[in-house]
């Protein structure tokens, strides 16, 4: 039985946008791509509009606007830390997005740091660790299996693992990971825990101090503040003892012709003129979500997601991809294939004929997608060889529908109705395959 949807969601810009479809009619756009980027929350836009007349350079500016901008920028650190339950001595480093945040941390750690991660990660939480001594957990079938595998890996590692780096919630299958339990296991073996919270922070309450999370990163563009800001929050010690990812102004105390004295954390990791407007927007989104209450947000989205998950199995030929069983808590993501319809074509039909925006492909998680789709290693090797040869083979993939605070029950019903129609009768129009992009466009 589907839970009651009771939260009054905040106003999001563009919620009533009408878009043209191939039949000549305009329909209200259904945004089911929240896991990629969220719309702008009206409260965030209001905060940006109020701030912009006062926008100026931050730090060391003597003018009043510089002082106001600096205060807004620095106050945002406290707001963001409060949103994720950071500790009083945690550093809050503002960056462009989660990807940059992870690269900042990976650069700050000593060369050869021993890192334990998993094969289900977004590429942003996989590739930066390859500069170190990276070990991967196996694919697991449940949270308990994950915890057991992590325990074994940490026990057997010689020398010991120093950092465990995992997702907070999968961007492909939505499973929420047991980060508090992982933190306890990591700490028992002398390791710290980093959590990629890009998909977790917008949808579930996060309390770093209570859960024992040492480092955490997330992005404004997934938190209803798509103005180009992200954040790394965590233990300041390694961040103030290392060279930064970016070298430049603002990150230093003194530069001589043959020497440099870096600033402390977080400043040494914020070289160049920062994105003050993006940081103000990110802080405004955190405040708005705190006012709503993240427990209430989670309950609201669980009810919406249940409606989607309950209905999708009724579509003939649809296969939903999941790593763990449905009893596990998961954010509002549904990734699926439809028999007989390639993923780029299915996404194109949903857009052009039904005004439904979804994501298709591998979602920056190639190892996980190939595992879920059962792609043999030999096929992966063939695709890699063709790509290295300069060819553009059609890659395997799926379609992902993801929800957020602007999603309505009608949105989900429209998705399910459209999929039923496509499964039964196919597309209404003819589509042209653009081979170089592996995309489909409606024929003129």
pLDDT in tens, 410-432: 999 999 999 999 999 999 999 99
Helix (H) or strand (E) holding 252: strand 252-256
Per-residue tokens: 169: 């919630």
Structure-token match 């579930």, residue found: 204
CA–CA dist 246, 269 (Å, integer): 7
Q: How high is the pLDDT of residue 5?
A: 57
Residues carrying CATH 3.40.640.10, the chain: 43-291
Phi and psi of 260, rounded to 5°? Answer: -145, 140
The vertex-213 CA angle with 208 and 215, nearest 5°, equals 100
Q: Which three-class secondary structure state does DSSP give residue 168?
A: coil
pLDDT in tens, 94-131: 999 999 999 999 999 999 999 999 999 999 999 999 99
Residue 332 pLDDT more than 80? yes
Residue 286 pLDDT more than 80? yes
Residue, of 2 and 90, whose pLDDT is higher: 90
Please give the share of the chain, as a percent, with pLDDT higher than 90: 96
pLDDT in tens, 69-84: 999 999 999 999 999 9
Give me the architecture of the 18-31+294-442 domain, per CATH.
Alpha-Beta Complex (3.90)
CA–CA dist 191, 162 (Å, integer): 4
Establish whether 364 is a catalytic residue: yes
pLDDT in tens, 21-58: 999 999 999 999 999 999 999 999 999 999 999 999 99
CA–CA dist 16, 29 (Å, integer): 7
Q: How many CA atoms are closer than 13 Å to the CA of 204, on its beta-carbon side? A: 21
CA–CA dist 436, 440 (Å, integer): 11
CA–CA dist 212, 77 (Å, integer): 20
> Exactly one of 150, 286, 362, 364 is catalytic; which is it?
364
Predicted TM-score of the model (pTM): 0.96
Residue 1 pLDDT more than 80? no
Q: 420: which residues sit within 8 A by CB, 6+ positions away?
A: 314, 315, 316
Cis amide prior to 206 (ω within 30 degrees): no
pLDDT in tens, 209-231: 999 999 999 999 999 999 999 99
Per-residue tokens: 248: 């430049």
Average pLDDT over residues 1-18: 81
Q: How high is the pLDDT of residue 61?
A: 85
Q: How high is the pLDDT of residue 4?
A: 54
pLDDT in tens, 131-176: 999 999 999 999 999 999 999 999 999 999 999 999 999 999 999 9
Confidence of residue 60 (pLDDT cuts 50, 70, 90): confident
Q: How high is the pLDDT of residue 306?
A: 97
Give me the CATH code for the 43-291 domain, please. 3.40.640.10
pLDDT in tens, 347-387: 999 999 999 999 999 999 999 999 999 999 999 999 999 99
Determine how many CB atoms are found less than 10 A away from the CB of residue 429: 14
CA–CA dist 105, 87 (Å, integer): 18
Residues carrying CATH 3.90.1150.10, the chain: 18-31+294-442
Residue 3 pLDDT more than 80? no
Strand partners, 442: 431
Structure-token match 């205060």, residue found: 71
Average pLDDT over residues 384-399: 95
DSSP summary character for residue 169 = B
Q: 114: which residues sit within 8 A by CB, 6+ positions away?
A: 132, 133, 135, 157, 159, 160, 161, 162, 163
Per-residue tokens: 232: 């790394």
Radius of gyration of the chain (CA): 23
Average pLDDT over residues 179-204: 98
The vertex-274 CA angle with 272 and 276, nearest 5°, equals 160
Angle, helices 409-425 vs 294-311, to 10°: value is 20
From residue 191, give the alpha-carbon distance in Å to each of 120, 165, 359, 414. 20, 10, 36, 47
Q: How many CA atoms are closer than 13 Å to the CA of 372, on its beta-carbon side? A: 26
């Amino acid at each position: 039985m589907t839970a009651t949807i009771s939260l009054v969601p905040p106003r999001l810009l563009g919620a009533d946008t009408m878009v043209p479809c191939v039949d000549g009619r305009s329909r209200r756009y259904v945004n089911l791509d929240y896991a990629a980027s969220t719309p702008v929350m009206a409260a965030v836009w209001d905060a940006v509009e109020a701030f912009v007349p006062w926008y100026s350079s931050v730090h060391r500016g003597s003018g009043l606007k510089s002082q106001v901008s600096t205060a807004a920028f620095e106050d945002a650190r406290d707001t963001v830390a409060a949103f994720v339950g950071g500790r009083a001595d945690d550093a809050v480093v503002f960056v462009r997005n989660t990807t940059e945040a992870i690269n900042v941390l990976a650069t700050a750690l000593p060369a050869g740091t021993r890192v334990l991660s998993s094969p289900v990660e977004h590429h942003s939480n996989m590739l930066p660790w390859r500069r170190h001594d990276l070990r991967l957990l196996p694919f697991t079938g449940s949270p308990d299996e994950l915890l057991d595998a992590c325990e074994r890996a940490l026990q057997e590692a010689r020398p010991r693992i120093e950092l465990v780096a995992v997702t907070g919630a999968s961007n492909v299958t939505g499973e929420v990971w047991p980060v508090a339990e992982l933190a306890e296991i990591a700490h028992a073996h002398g390791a710290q825990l980093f959590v990629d919270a890009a998909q977790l922070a917008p949808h579930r309450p996060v309390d770093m101090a209570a859960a024992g999370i040492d480092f955490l990163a997330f992005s404004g563009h997934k938190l209803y503040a798509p103005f180009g800001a992200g954040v790394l929050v965590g233990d300041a010690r390694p961040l103030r003892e290392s060279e930064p990812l970016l070298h430049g102004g603002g990150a230093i105390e003194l530069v001589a012709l043959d020497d440099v004295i870096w600033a402390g954390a977080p400043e040494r990791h914020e070289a160049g003129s920062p994105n003050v407007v993006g940081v103000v927007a990110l802080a405004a989104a955190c405040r708005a979500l705190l006012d709503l209450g993240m427990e209430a947000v989670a309950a609201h989205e669980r009810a919406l997601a249940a409606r989607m998950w309950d209905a999708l199995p009724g579509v003939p030929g649809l296969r939903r991809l999941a790593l763990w069983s449905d009893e596990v808590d998961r954010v509002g993501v549904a990734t699926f294939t439809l028999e007989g319809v390639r993923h780029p074509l299915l996404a194109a039909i949903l857009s052009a004929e039904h005004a439904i925006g979804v994501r298709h492909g591998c979602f920056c998680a190639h190892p996980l997608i190939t595992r879920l789709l059962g792609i043999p290693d030999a096929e992966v090797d063939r695709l890699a060889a063709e790509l290295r040869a300069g060819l553009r083979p059609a890659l395997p993939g799926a379609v992902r529908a993801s929800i957020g605070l602007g999603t309505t029950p009608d949105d989900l019903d429209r998705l399910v109705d459209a999929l039923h129609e496509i499964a039964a009768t196919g597309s209404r129009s003819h589509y042209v395959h653009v081979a170089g992009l592996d995309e489909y466009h409606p024929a003129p």
